[in-house]
Amino acid sequence: MRVKLIVEYDGTDYHGWQIQPDAPTIQGVLEGALRRMLGESVRVAAAGRTDAGVHAAGQVVSCTLQRAVAADTLLRGLNALTPRDVSIRDAAVVADDFDPRRAARSRVYLYRIWNARWPSPFWRRYAWHVVQPLDLTRMRVAAASLVGEHDFSSFQGAGCDAEHAVRRVLRSEIEQRGPLFSFTIEATAFLRHMVRNIAGTLVEVGDGSRTPDVSTLLAARDRTAAGPTAPACGLCLSRVNY
């Protein structure tokens, strides 16, 4: 029985998605809950391997169970066995060959920035606190120019094992509500740390230290030409589209 789960989590206290020895991970939490509920060892796979401290509102996870379990029973049972910072939002039976990573048509990430003189106790776990004033108009110009197919080598993090850095961005936009900036980006695939490196660059555009024209930056294909890697706390995997 192949099952698809939609999982939400606060990644603050976890060392990312992928299971690690002697470190709490989201994969470890889910596999532990399944083992306790079903009495069997179950391996889970995710649509995206989020890094340490990164959150998810719509992570898609799949696993194969040795016996049939009603989706609603699985949903209630797993939520009773997971900690408060991990929640299963939905469970459904899928085709035996469903692969959450390979079947995905696009992924949507959200990066939040708290732009105020003082930090927010409510957003400290979910947004990057930036003190210097940011210009929304400049940041919007830069974000919009990322739409399309480009070589994103300038935004590729160290240790990325992708065969190439060409990616197709379907949506890239930024909104502001008071001191909270929300950057949304959707692409068919992403490179390691790509969103966080873009967010770091957008902040430099917003504070005036970098031009909104990122075409030269894309053409450079050089990570050192772009801005800093933004903190993990602001990043959230919002949705995976199939």
For 106-134, the pLDDT digits (tens) are 999 999 999 999 999 999 999 999 999 99
The pLDDT confidence band at residue 135, using thresholds 50, 70 and 90, is very high
Given a cut of 90, whether residue 242 has pLDDT beyond it is: yes
State the pLDDT at residue 162.
Answer: 80
Q: What is the structure's pLDDT at 158? A: 84
Q: Which residue in 71, 78, 111 sits closest to 94, CA to CA? A: 71
Average pLDDT over residues 84-107: 97
- Which residues have a Cβ under 8 Å from the Cβ of 204 and sit 6 or more positions away? 210, 227, 228
Phi-psi region for residue 69, left (φ > 0), alpha (ψ -120 to 50) or beta?
beta
222 is catalytic: no
Q: What percent of the chain has pLDDT over 70?
A: 100
Residue among 167, 188, 224, 212 nearest 106 (CA): 188
The residue among 179 and 159 whose pLDDT is bigger is: 179
Q: Report, in angstroms and rounded to the nearest whole number, the Rg of the chain calculated over CA atoms.
A: 19
pLDDT one-digit tens code per residue, 166-222: 999 999 999 999 999 999 999 999 999 999 999 999 999 999 999 999 999 999 999
Geometric angle at alpha carbon 171, from 130 and 236, rounded to 5°: 50
CA dist 189 and 104 (Å) reads 9
Is residue 240 within a helix (H) or strand (E), and if so which, with residue range?
strand 235-241
Q: Is the pLDDT of residue 161 over 90?
A: no
Enumerate domains of the chain plus CATH numbers: 2-94 (3.30.70.580), 106-241 (3.30.70.660)
**For strand 44-46 and strand 180-187, is the pairing parallel, antiparallel, or unpaired?**
unpaired
Q: How far apart are CA 188 and CA 241, in angstroms?
A: 9
From the candidates 10, 51, 97, 213, give the one annotated as an active-site residue.
51
Q: What are the tokens at 179?
A: 């001191």
Read off the pLDDT of each residue in 4-29 and give the average, rounded to a whole number. Answer: 97
Q: Identify any residues that bridge with 106 across adjacent strands, giving them in sequence order.
A: 241
> Distance (Å, rounded) from C-alpha 52 to C-alpha 12?
7
pLDDT band for 159, please (50, 70, 90 cuts). confident
Quote the pLDDT of residue 31. 98
